[in-house]
Amino acid sequence: MHATIYHNPRCSKSRAALALLTEAGDDVRIVEYLKTPPTRDDLAALLDRARLTPREALRANEPEAKSLKDATDAQILDAMAQHPILIERPIVETEKGIVIARPPERVHEVL
């Protein structure tokens, strides 16, 4: 099975999700989204396929997120595109679906 993980190697949850994918024998495409962020349109499409709102995919504890308390979905997407640190991680996509793998064991939902 092929999987894509939007990954931050500094994040323990992201590393754990990647390890689960690797252990499952998946062919894993790793996107270090802080180095190669998705475009706003790509992120919107990814969240739409995952049936997630931008607010559900927002790392609310990041300092940049504080100003987004009353923001619209469009404003949150704009902020995520400008500051990819605001994107919750890891996001895992397979042909079975897309999950935010927090906790990492959520990876099993799309394997």
Q: Which sequence positions are flagged as catalytic?
A: 11
As a dihedral over the C-alpha atoms of residue 55, residue 85, residue 109, residue 4, rounded to 10 degrees, the angle is 130
Contact 59, 106 (CB under 8 A): no
Chain centroid offset of residue 92 CA: 7
Query: What is the number of helices (H) and of strands (E) in the chain?
Result: 3, 4
Whole-angstrom Cα distance, residue 2 to residue 108? 14
Beta bridge partners of 92: 5, 99
